[in-house]
Amino acid sequence: MPAKKKEEPSWVPPFRGLIHVTGEPDTGKTTLALTVPSVQPRHIIFFDADIKTQGLADEFELAGTPFLAYHNLTLDFKNLMIKGKKKPEDYYHMIDDQVDGYIKQREDGKIDPRVAVFDGWTPIEAGIRAYSETIMQEISPYSQKQIKTMSRMTFIFRAWQASTSCRSLARSPK
């Protein structure tokens, strides 16, 4: 009887894991995010709420090895504020729309991101929390306790959804 040929999986997950790095300021978290083995800057989408990586992004650009995309979220939100969008949930929607755009581009085969970095999660978290609370304010007939519980669950869901979007965005090198 001939040996059975091993079948290749029909679907490969977009990436192998999600890494969340926390720590004190200036301890090397960004450096760690930028040193993923076998990943060049051209495969990194960087969302910078900390502003400290702007200089590095500029240096990569000058060296001819730019990030796939770099977002100075402070400047992006400042530009959004000029258009009248000033609420924390607007900040969240701005980032969510950017991530959705990259997911679509990846699905269309236009880009090949392997790492998505969110440097400075606190402002993004605040935006998700504000968005969750605005949804709950629209649901008036519920008791205050139910609204708080639902708000907490919506926040958890949106944080999970943001994490899932990152998973969809980045994938492991082949």
Check residue 167 and give its pLDDT.
56
Is the confidence at residue 102, as pLDDT, over 60? yes
Is the confidence at residue 68, as pLDDT, over 90? yes
- Kindly list the strands in the beta sheet with 69-72, ordered across the sheet, starting from the edge strand earlier in the chain: 69-72, 44-48, 115-119
Q: What is the Cα–Cα distance from 134 to 131, expressed in whole angstroms?
A: 5
Is the confidence at residue 57, as pLDDT, over 60? yes
Is the confidence at residue 12, as pLDDT, over 50? no
